Amino acid sequence: MEVIKIEKQHLELIAKLHKENFSDEHTTFYLGEDLLKKYYKQFLNRQDIFFLGIEKNGRIVGIILGGDKDILAFCRKQFLENYKNLLMKDIIRSVLITPYFAYKLFYERIFLKFFYKEKIFDKINLENSYNILSIVVDKKERGKGLGKLLVDEFEKVCKENNKEYLTLSVRKSNKNAISFYKKVGFIPYKETNLGLYLYKKVI
Ligand SMILES: CC(C)(COP(=O)(O)OP(=O)(O)OC[C@H]1O[C@@H](n2cnc3c(N)ncnc32)[C@H](O)[C@@H]1OP(=O)(O)O)[C@@H](O)C(=O)NCCC(=O)NCCS
């Protein structure tokens, strides 16, 4: 088993890992594998973006993706712009197959947005930080320390780049991930309609 840098040739395996391991709580769950490949491709070979994986017997069993918050947002924006037609197709297909998706989209993105007031627990200055956009470990490999290994590796990247904090956001409904993040040292600092925001001091 080894920690590797994710490259173009791994994208197929990563799209599969994503599809099989993210629950329907995540909006990206509704994307097909082809679009997921395109999504992850946007983050390759970018300055200040780090994409690591754990390889075991020729399989990718875990990934972590993150880096500079603005560049991550730029990559996501580019994905939305470049593939809006394909995205629309996947979304319409999901709404037709899973009417719950349409309800969720309305309730979470429109209804809750207007009626939920943001809560700040800690007014910490997180200017000098890297952000984790995505972390996932294959279901069959969970509970063996791989998630912690990925976070540890990312902390090394932060230290090498003199970043004081590691930040991330997670859906409030994703109780498993929240327990995991707290266990590996993250502290909540903000809550919005959908998400809980956490940080960890690494330097
Ligand atoms: C969250 C996730 C990455 C954790 O990976 P993992 O490899 O199972 O985690 P680890 O084995 O490294 O666990 C590290 C610590 O967290 C604890 N932990 C992990 N999952 C937990 C859970 N669901 N509830 C409570 N504690 C948990 C472990 O017990 C361990 O503690 P220990 O060191 O005292 O034994 C994995 O569950 C996952 O891929 N989930 C689906 C994707 C996801 O939701 N990602 C996050 C949102 S972007």
According to the model, what pLDDT value does residue 166 have?
98
42 lines ligand 1 (CB under 6 A): no
Question: How remote is the C-alpha of 121 from its chain's centroid?
Answer: 22
21 lines ligand 1 (CB under 6 A): yes
* Residue ID of nearest Cα to ligand 1 atom 27: 180
What are the pLDDT tens digits along the chain (203 aa)? Answer: 999 999 999 999 999 999 999 887 777 877 889 999 999 999 999 999 999 999 999 999 999 999 999 999 999 999 999 999 998 888 788 778 777 777 777 777 777 777 778 899 999 999 999 999 999 999 999 999 999 999 999 999 999 999 999 999 999 989 999 999 999 999 999 999 889 999 999 99
Q: What is the pLDDT of residues 73-88, one digit of tens each?
A: 999 999 999 999 998 8
According to the model, what pLDDT value does residue 82 have?
95
Contact yes or no for 191/172 (Cβ under 8 A) = yes
According to the model, what pLDDT value does residue 37 have?
96
178 lines ligand 1 (CB under 6 A): no
Q: How far is CA 48 from CA 16, 53, 71, 96, 158, in A?
A: 25, 17, 7, 39, 10
DSSP type of residue 199:
E
* Residue ID of nearest Cα to ligand 1 atom 20: 180
Q: How far is the CA of 141 from the centre of ligand 1 (A)?
A: 10
* Residue ID of nearest Cα to ligand 1 atom 42: 136
Contact yes or no for 35/130 (Cβ under 8 A) = no
Q: How far is the CA of 56 from the centre of ligand 1 (A)?
A: 18
What are the structure tokens assigned to 171, written together?
């859906």
**pTM of the prediction?**
0.93
* Residue ID of nearest Cα to ligand 1 atom 31: 183
Contact yes or no for 139/177 (Cβ under 8 A) = no
According to the model, what pLDDT value does residue 50 have?
98
180 lines ligand 1 (CB under 6 A): yes
Beta partners for residue 50, in sequence order: 66
According to the model, what pLDDT value does residue 29 have?
77
Beta partners for residue 54, in sequence order: 3, 62
According to the model, what pLDDT value does residue 24 have?
74
58 lines ligand 1 (CB under 6 A): no
Q: How far is the CA of 96 from the centre of ligand 1 (A)?
A: 33
Q: Please give the domain boundaries of the chain with CATH numbers for all domains.
A: 2-201 (3.40.630.30)
